[in-house]
């Protein structure tokens, strides 16, 4: 089984081409990732391979129908059986069990007499409860829906597997199950993800951009080394071209000045008739014009080369964000929790064990636990949004901000420019706000965009920009699954920002790579 992509191109209606000239051959058993910035068309490429979309040009050859797990399953009124494509077989099995001798029931069931047992085994593998197959998908959480779709791999054993951001809604246990499953696979696996731990489990990395699909012969860490080498080489070429452009402009000025000087001196020294003097002047002007055109062409050619090189740069990697240090001295007690518990329903405490916890300034704490364990509820208790049902919780004054996976603080219907003004507590001049927006890669052509239309990475950048405009460095930063809707460049920006931030940190994240990179020093597990 293999996948062959030949000269694919695709565009959405009324939009410019998303990508073109995509070529790739993925051999049987290969496990590959597709990386690239948000908006380059990674999810679209998976949908093309899955047969959900049709390319504008080119051809896709698959030896078998791929099994596709989307980033967000649109449940509608489908049942689990319908989502997994086994509803007809379960219906046929039930009919036969009840005495049906209809040939169509036997044809539908084929050799899948053990379909019920395989269904139960697939759910158990993903640590799901014994869910009836007619359970509506919309009755499940996002994490459970993802696990159901991933259970289809265990159930069907497909030869081609396509996964679009499969770890977004998985807790750490679920991620570990997925890592093991992929490691054991004999099938082709194509993954779009920003989970670097997952990407490092794959053999080959492809980078998708408007220029096409470029293959790198290794996992994500290998790819990142190669990209750094490419980017350093590109930076050197840009610096050399900038130098040549400066030299070309300097040479053009010198030639023009020297030619003008010689022409004036020659005209001054000439003592012949006026008609010959005019002829001499015309010849000098003609020579000067040729020289100007010649050097103008050199300058223009160098400028065009420089412009083309700069377009290849990923400017988002140049973004550097440095918060000032938090104002509180190190070691000040911020929160003290003693035997704290919370109950959404009277008499049913959320945690099996009450929580004892102390948070001091400059602590960097990773809050862990399975999905549904109440990690976000704990954050609401620590910040005062909720009151504990039992136990005591003392909070001393401190400032804080929360970056969550949807960046809801930036979901307002106002524009980028209007949001920046909301945080302009220092009454900065407009040109100073514009400078800060540009620094965070929001140029004038973006200022009219609605915040609600921004991607996760754009919302994150805008929020950090607004904090800079407001000159507000919080005493505590709370991160609640902040990387779920970020692309890898966005995660790199956030990682660098949080790593350099000198203040208190509470982070909920199942992304081991991110948690390690930001430098947590304590862990609090809720069960």
- Looking at the DSSP assignment, which residues form a beta bridge with residue 390? 341
Half-sphere exposure in the Cβ direction for 122 (13 Å, CA): 26
**What is the pLDDT, as a whole number, of residue 285?**
56
Structure tokens at 403: 């970056």
DSSP codes joined into one string, 43-60: HHHHHHHHTSS--SEEEE
Separation of alpha carbons 402 and 460, rounded Å = 11
Separation of alpha carbons 38 and 486, rounded Å = 8
Residue pair 305/311 in contact by the 8 Å Cβ criterion = no
Separation of alpha carbons 99 and 371, rounded Å = 43
Report the interhelical angle of 220-269 vs 274-311 (nearest 10°): 170
Separation of alpha carbons 288 and 282, rounded Å = 10
**What is the pLDDT, as a whole number, of residue 270?**
47
Q: In what order do the strands lie in the sheet with 188-192?
A: 67-69, 160-164, 188-192, 31-35, 204-209, 212-216
Read off the DSSP letter of residue 66: P
Structure tokens at 335: 């929160």
Separation of alpha carbons 350 and 343, rounded Å = 5
The mean per-residue pLDDT over the stretch 80-102 comes to 95
Of 324, 325, 316, 322, the C-alpha closest to 440 is 316
Separation of alpha carbons 427 and 464, rounded Å = 18
pLDDT at 76 over 60: yes
Model confidence over 141-159: pLDDT tens digits? Answer: 889 999 999 999 999 999 9
Residue pair 327/481 in contact by the 8 Å Cβ criterion = no
> Which residue shows structure tokens 């809801």?
408
**What is the pLDDT, as a whole number, of residue 315?**
54
- The SS3 of residue 187 is coil
Strand ranges in 278-324 using DSSP code E only, listed in sequence order: none
- The SS3 of residue 219 is coil
Of 415, 382, 394, the C-alpha closest to 508 is 382
Residue 521: other Cβ atoms inside 10 A: 10
Separation of alpha carbons 93 and 98, rounded Å = 9
Separation of alpha carbons 488 and 311, rounded Å = 20
Read off the DSSP letter of residue 386: S
The mean per-residue pLDDT over the stretch 169-179 comes to 94
Model confidence over 117-147: pLDDT tens digits? Answer: 999 999 999 999 889 999 999 999 889 999 9
Model confidence over 27-72: pLDDT tens digits? Answer: 999 999 999 877 789 999 999 999 999 999 999 999 889 999 998 7
Model confidence over 293-328: pLDDT tens digits? Answer: 565 667 677 777 767 766 666 655 556 666 677 778
Instruction: Categorize the per-residue pLDDT at 271 as very low, low, confident or very high, splitting at 50, 70 and 90.
Output: low
Angle at alpha carbon of residue 491, lines to 148 and 211, rounded to 5°:
90
Separation of alpha carbons 399 and 418, rounded Å = 24
């Amino acid at each position: 089984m293999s996948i062959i992509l030949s000269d694919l191109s695709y565009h959405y209606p009324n939009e410019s081409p998303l990508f073109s000239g995509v070529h790739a051959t993925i051999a049987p058993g290969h496990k590959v990732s597709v990386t690239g910035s948000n908006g380059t068309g990674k999810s679209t490429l998976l949908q093309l391979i899955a047969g959900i979309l049709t390319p504008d040009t080119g051809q896709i050859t698959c030896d078998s129908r791929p099994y596709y797990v989307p980033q967000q399953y649109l449940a509608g009124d489908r049942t689990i059986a319908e989502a997994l494509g086994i509803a007809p077989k379960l219906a046929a099995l039930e009919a036969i069990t009840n005495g049906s001798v209809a040939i169509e029931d036997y044809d539908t069931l084929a050799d899948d007499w053990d379909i019920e047992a395989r269904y139960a085994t697939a759910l158990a593998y993903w640590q799901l409860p014994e869910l009836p197959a007619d359970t509506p998908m919309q009755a499940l959480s996002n994490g459970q829906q993802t696990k159901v779709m991933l259970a289809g791999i265990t159930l069907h054993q497909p030869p081609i597997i396509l996964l679009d951001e499969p770890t977004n809604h998985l807790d750490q246990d679920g991620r570990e199950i997925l890592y093991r499953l992929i490691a054991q696979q004999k099938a082709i696996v194509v993954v779009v993800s920003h989970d670097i731990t997952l990407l490092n489990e794959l053999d080959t990395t492809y980078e998708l951009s408007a220029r096409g699909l470029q293959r790198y012969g290794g996992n994500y860490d290998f790819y990142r080394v190669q990209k750094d080498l490419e980017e350093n080489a590109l930076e050197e070429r840009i610096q050399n071209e900038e130098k040549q452009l400066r030299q070309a402009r300097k040479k053009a000025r010198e030639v023009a000045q020297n030619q003008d000087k010689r022409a004036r001196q020659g005209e001054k020294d000439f003592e012949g008739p006026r008609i010959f003097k005019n002829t001499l002047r015309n010849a000098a002007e003609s020579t000067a014009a040729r020289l100007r055109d010649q050097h103008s062409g050199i300058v223009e050619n160098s400028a065009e080369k420089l412009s083309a090189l700069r377009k290849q740069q990923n400017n988002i990697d140049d973004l550097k964000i440095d918060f000032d240090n938090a104002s509180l001295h190190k070691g000040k007690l911020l929160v003290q929790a003693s035997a704290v518990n919370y109950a959404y329903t009277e008499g049913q405490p959320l945690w099996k064990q009450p929580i004892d916890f102390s948070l001091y300034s400059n602590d960097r704490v990773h809050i862990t636990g399975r999905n549904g364990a109440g990690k976000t509820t704990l954050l609401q208790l620590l910040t005062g949004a909720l009151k504990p049902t039992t136990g005591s919780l003392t909070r001393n004054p401190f400032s804080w901000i929360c970056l969550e996976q949807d960046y809801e603080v930036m979901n307002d219907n106002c524009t980028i420019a209007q949001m920046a003004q909301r945080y302009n507590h220092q009454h900065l001049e407009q040109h100073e706000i514009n400078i800060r927006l540009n620094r965070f890669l929001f140029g004038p052509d973006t200022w009219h965009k609605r915040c609600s239309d921004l991607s996760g990475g754009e919302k994150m950048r805008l929020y950090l920009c607004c904090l800079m405009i407001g000159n507000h460095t919080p005493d505590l930063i709370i991160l609640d699954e902040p990387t779920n809707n970020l692309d890898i460049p966005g995660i790199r920006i956030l990682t660098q920002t949080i790593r350099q931030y000198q203040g208190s940190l509470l982070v909920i994240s199942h992304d081991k790579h991110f948690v390690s990179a930001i430098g947590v020093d304590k862990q609090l597990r809720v069960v």
